[in-house]
Structure 1
Amino acid sequence: MTDRRANPRHAIILPALCWNGDGSEFHAITVDISPDGIRMRSATIPPVTAQLGCSIRGVGVMEIRVVRAGPDDFAVRVVGSGDAPGQVVRNLLEMARLQAPPVEKVRVCRRVVPKFKQVQVATADGTSVPAQILNLSATGVALRLDAPVVVGQTIMVGRHQARIARRTEAGVGAAFLTPLDEATVDEHTVL
């Protein structure tokens, strides 16, 4: 059975200093945050229900309660701070967004430059114009095209239907609606 959480978790890595009621301190690192609380990793694992003070860099000082303890991490809920607990969570979520790297689009299929670069492109209104293939893969094609097309528009590239995915300095990039067989795409491919 999988553990399905009602609320999404957002990765965030920030140093934290925690202290017990007796004044003893230990260091921790935040791992992630959700509306349910903050997960932290530390060499010192406090017991469940422990009330701690905590200072997280960039967030501030707050009072937390341990709600789960594992072998190398623990989860807490913010129970009090200078700011309202909800504001602390919002600040942490904003910091998590700032730490999250932008998603990089990774090309899965290799691109080739075909020997036969000329192809006819038909637009939605039936206009047929010549185009030059800059490169292609099983999933798409880059074209130099002298026709007014917009991102999202469906076109026919030779015998293959494609959707304009982006504009480039050299022309457009289009994604095939039905990908080609990657094993057959090489410099001799004719669209």
Structure 2
Amino acid sequence: MVAVELRRMKRMSQSVSVQTSENRANRRQYERTNLSVAGRLMLPSGGEYPCDVEDISEGGIALHSQADGEIGDRVIVYLDRLGRFEGQLVRRFDGGFAIQTRLQTNQRARLIERIELLKNHSQGDGIAALPRRAPRRTPTNEEANECARLTIDNGEEVACRVLDISLTGAHIRLSNRPKVGTHVTVGRTLGRIVRHTDEGIGVEFLSTGKLAS
């Protein structure tokens, strides 16, 4: 019995050693960039927490967060202006943790492009001037009905009207405009207010949901 337990512990130790070596190799392989980007993350427990990026690369993200994730947890992260990421929690540090991501070649290329834009092109309000990637269009009746209400990050729901929509965002008519940077949910799609307009707000989607399809 003791011998079996010792063999099991040895296998676990070897597995952790291999993972640690891979994580160190990944950190060396990809150039990490320090960015000030906010977002939200979700853990397997279903908990959702705010987070801020410490640094990011094609292979992983270091996040500041009060989330109580464990090594090995699958983590889903929505980052402002960068989008959605999935990864595995591989390292903890004081005030946060790092996740390892596995991106396809085209995803890595898009991420590198967006990181460079965030580093080099910023407007007066500190929000990067990323190009629109999809044409705007008038919403269908189904879309207009589904997103007739907008949920603010404090849980408040308000009536609204979508004026135009695309894969990456929407222009929404709203009488009382929350401040730029506020997280909102349009229908079932998570987004962030990136500008105020004469008629309401401009929202960038942080995830791809039914309304943005």
Please tell me the TM-score bracket, short chain as reference.
0.3 to 0.5
Larger-Rg structure: 1
User: Counting strand residues as a fraction of each chain, which structure ranks higher?
Assistant: 1
User: Counting helix residues as a fraction of each chain, which structure ranks higher?
Assistant: 2
Normalising by structure 1, report the TM-score.
0.42
Normalising by structure 2, report the TM-score.
0.38
